[in-house]
Amino acid sequence: GCGAMYEIHIESEEFREKRTVQQHQMVNQALSEEIKSMHGLRIFTSTPKGRQ
């Protein structure tokens, strides 16, 4: 079609205490150059389980 579609799953302690939209903004910022050539991107973020 008109471009590449991607789905990424990222787990990081840096996401702890942040809202989902803030987590996704962090990912978008880190991948800003790569995102330019993508048609679509689905982002799934989480924090490591079992830690407080």
Q: Which DSSP category does 7 fall into?
A: E
In a domain, 22, yes or no: yes
Domain that includes residue 28, residue range: 4-46
Spatial contact of 8 and 41, defined as CB atoms under 8 Å apart: yes
Tens-digit pLDDT profile for residues 8-35: 999 999 999 999 999 999 999 999 998 8
Whichever domain contains 29, its CATH number is 3.30.300.90
Task: Count how many domains the chain has.
Answer: 1
Is the pLDDT at 52 greater than 60? The verdict is no
Of 3 and 22, more confident: 22
User: Which pLDDT does position 2 carry in this prediction?
Assistant: 65
**Predicted pLDDT of residue 19:** 97
- With 90 as the cut, is the pLDDT of residue 3 above it? no
Q: What pTM did the predictor assign?
A: 0.79
In a domain, 24, yes or no: yes
Q: Is 52 a member of any domain? A: no
2 against 4, higher pLDDT: 4
Token readout for 24 is: 């996704």
